[in-house]
């Protein structure tokens, strides 16, 4: 039991210890305001990372999420500002397009037996390319609903607020945990990541699950795009470049095996917050430079990959023959 949760425990310990270190160093750190901002600032990454968790659990990878987020912001801007659609309609259209896009990639991956890495790379090119074709400018979105939505927040008595994006992210993680651990679909995803062939023999609908996983990732990337456009109030084709890396990193730091089959959605939440915490720390410090974020995250990635490698070796030493090479 402990072994299954060990990566999660390590992730959460890193998070807590990190937070405590920050709190010791900066007197204002341990406040609801900082926590609220941490959640808000990382909401879109978190939502996309939840989707990435499912993809990686199933043994795949989705490089297109950053591009899909960028595309969604552009699409929303074009639909709302240029086509005059109501944001609610635009949201629905954007979510549908993003979901369909993910499903299409999943279909190509399954039926053409192509590596997810390369299919979603092409998907990334396409999504970015289409956003560039739509517009290369940053289009501000001035619809009143946007400012209304941005005002929606749960305000704490002690200062600070839980914004709509933050609430959305928490909701997404809640639902994702439900999906991963309390539905047959979730079990099928783990099964696929554990061993595709065995899963098939045990009656898991492999095709449907694969397509659904990428569709889900697309849907959540679309939602992340909506959140990002709320957050920035604009649509920009270069928005969220590299977010696919941030999400993959969050998933790994969250204790999920990149090879699939092992991991917990809650861990990804921790991974997102650890990344956010590092950034917040550096902002608070003021003298430290932003590049330490990347280095620190790289080091964490390395440590977690080694940790998982070690755990897997410990788990499977029973009767396992070391392959010679």
Partner 1 sequence: MTLSSSALRRNLPQCGALIAVLLANWLLFPDFFSIRVQDGRLFGSLIDVMNRGAPVALLAIGMTMVIATRGVDLSVGAVMAISGAIAATMTQAGWSLPPVLLVSLGAGLLCGLWNGVLVAVLRIQPIIATLILMVAGRGIAQLITEGQIVTFVSPGLAAIGSGAVLTVPTPVVLTAATLAVTALLVRATALGLMIESVGVNRLSSAYAGVNTPVILIAVYVWCGLCAAVAGLIVTADIRGADANNAGLWLELDAILAVVVGGTSLLGGRFGLLMSIVGAAIIQAMNTGILLSGFKPEFNLIVKAAVLMVVLLAQSPALSLLLPRPRSPANALPIAAKVTSNAPGKAHKEGSAQ
Partner 2 sequence: MTNPHAPPLLAIRGLSKAFLGVQALDGVDFTLRHGEIHALLGENGAGKSTLIKTLTGVYQRDGGTIALNGAEIAPRSVEDAQRLNIGTVYQEVNLLPNLSVAENLFLGRQPMRFGLVDRAAMRRRARAILDGYGLSIDVAAPLQRFSVATQQIVAIARAVDMSAKVLILDEPTASLDAQEVAVLFDVMRGLKARGIGIVFVTHFLDQVYAVCDRITVLRNGRLVGERRTADLPRLDLVAMMLGRELEAAAHRLAQPTEVDESAPPLLRFQGVGKARSVAPFDLDIRPGEVVGLAGLLGSGRTETARLAFGVDRADSGTITVDGAPVALRGPREAIRLGFGYCPEDRKKEGIVGELSVRENIILALQARQGWLNPIPRRRQEEIADRFIRLLDIRTPDAERPIQLLSGGNQQKALLARWLATEPRFLILDEPTRGIDVGAHAEIIRLIERLCADGMALLVVSSELEEIVAYSRRVVVLRDRHHVAALTGEDVCVERIVAAIASESSPPVAEARP
Considering Cα of 121, then 127, then 133, then 137, what sign does the dihedral take? negative
Q: Which of 113, 287, 289, 316 binds partner 2 (CB under 8 A)?
A: 316
Query: Would you count residue 26 as binding partner 1 (CB under 8 A)?
Result: no
**Minimum distance, C-beta of residue 105 to partner 2, in the bound complex (Å):** 24
Scan residues 287-306 and list those touching partner 1 (CB under 8 A): 289-299, 301-302, 305-306
Alpha-carbon gap, residue 125 to 304, rounded angstroms: 29
With a CB cutoff of 8 Å and minimum separation 6, the contacts of 3 are 311, 314, 315
**Minimum distance, C-beta of residue 322 to partner 1, in the bound complex (Å):** 10
With a CB cutoff of 8 Å and minimum separation 6, the contacts of 219 are 51, 95, 98, 99, 102
> Residue 113 binds which entry of partner 2, partner 1, none, with Cβ cut-offs from 5 to 8 Å by kind?
partner 1
With a CB cutoff of 8 Å and minimum separation 6, the contacts of 34 are 28, 160, 280
Determine the length of the chain: 325
Residue whose CB is less far from partner 2, 165 or 193: 193
**Minimum distance, C-beta of residue 38 to partner 1, in the bound complex (Å):** 20
Residue whose CB is less far from partner 1, 24 or 312: 312
Query: Would you count residue 171 as binding partner 2 (CB under 8 A)?
Result: no
The residue among 265, 271, 274, 269 whose CA lies nearest residue 250 is 271
With a CB cutoff of 8 Å and minimum separation 6, the contacts of 73 are 225, 228, 229, 232, 234, 235, 236, 239, 240
Alpha-carbon gap, residue 75 to 235, rounded angstroms: 7
Site mask, partner 2, residues 176-205, x = CB under 8 A? --x--xxxx-xxx-xx-xxx-xxx-xxxx-
The residue among 251, 252, 241, 235 whose CA lies nearest residue 301 is 252
Which part of the chain contacts partner 1 (CB under 8 A), choosing from 29-37, 220-228, 251-259, 279-287? 251-259
Q: Which of 113, 144, 197, 317 binds partner 1 (CB under 8 A)?
A: 113
Q: How many helices (H) and strands (E) does the chain have?
A: 14, 4
Q: Is 141 helix (H, G, I), strand (E, B) or coil?
A: coil
CA 136 to each of CA 130, 166, 240: distance values in angstroms, whole numbers, following the listed order: 10, 29, 14
Query: Would you count residue 317 as binding partner 1 (CB under 8 A)?
Result: no
Site mask, partner 2, residues 227-266, x = CB under 8 A? ----------------------------------xx----
Alpha-carbon gap, residue 15 to 19, rounded angstroms: 6
Which part of the chain contacts partner 1 (CB under 8 A), choosing from 73-81, 143-151, 158-166, 286-294? 286-294
Residue 129, token pair as written in the block: 């390319």
Site mask, partner 1, residues 252-271, x = CB under 8 A? x-----xx------------
Scan residues 133-152 and list those touching partner 1 (CB under 8 A): 133, 136
Query: Would you count residue 118 as binding partner 1 (CB under 8 A)?
Result: yes
Query: Would you count residue 130 as binding partner 1 (CB under 8 A)?
Result: yes
- Residues making contact with partner 2 (CB under 8 A): 1, 3-4, 178, 181-184, 186-188, 190-191, 193-195, 197-199, 201-204, 261-262, 315-316, 318-319, 321, 324
- Binding site residues, partner 1, CB under 8 A: 61, 111-115, 117-119, 121-126, 128-130, 132-133, 136, 237, 245, 248-249, 252, 258-259, 289-299, 301-302, 305-306, 309, 323-325
């Amino acid at each position: 039991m402990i072994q299954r949760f060990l990566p999660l425990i390590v992730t959460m310990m890193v998070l807590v210890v990190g937070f405590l270190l920050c709190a010791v160093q900066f007197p204002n750190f341990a406040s609801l305001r900082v926590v609220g901002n941490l959640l808000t600032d990382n909401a879109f990454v978190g939502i996309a990372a939840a989707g990435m968790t499912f993809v990686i659990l199933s043994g795949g990878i989705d490089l297109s999420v950053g591009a899909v987020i960028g595309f969604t912001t552009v699409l929303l801007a074009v639909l709302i500002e240029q086509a005059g659609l109501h944001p609610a309609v635009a949201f629905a259209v954007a979510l549908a397009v993003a979901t369909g896009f993910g499903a299409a990639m999943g279909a190509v991956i399954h039926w053409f037996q192509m590596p997810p890495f390369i299919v979603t790379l092409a998907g990334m090119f396409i999504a970015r390319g289409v956003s560039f074709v739509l517009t290369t400018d940053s289009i501000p979105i001035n619809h009143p609903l946007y400012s209304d939505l941005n005002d929606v927040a749960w305000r704490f008595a002690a200062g600070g607020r839980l914004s709509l994006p933050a609430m959305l992210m928490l909701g997404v993680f809640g639902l994702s945990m439900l999906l991963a651990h309390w539905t047959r679909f979730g079990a099928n995803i783990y099964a696929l990541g554990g061993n595709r062939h065995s899963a098939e023999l045990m009656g898991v609908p492999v095709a449907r699950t694969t397509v659904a996983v990428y569709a889900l990732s697309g849907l959540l990337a679309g939602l992340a795009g909506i959140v990002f456009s709320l957050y920035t109030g604009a649509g920009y084709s270069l928005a969220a470049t590299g977010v696919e890396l941030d999400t993959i990193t969050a998933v790994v730091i969250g204790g999920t095996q990149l090879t699939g089959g092992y991991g917990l959605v809650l861990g990804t939440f921790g991974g997102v917050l650890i990344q956010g915490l590092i950034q917040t720390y550096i902002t608070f410090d003021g003298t430290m430079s932003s590049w330490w974020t990347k280095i620190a995250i790289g080091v964490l990635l390395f440590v977690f990959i080694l940790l998982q490698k070690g755990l897997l070796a410990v788990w499977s030493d029973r009767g396992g023959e070391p392959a010679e090479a």
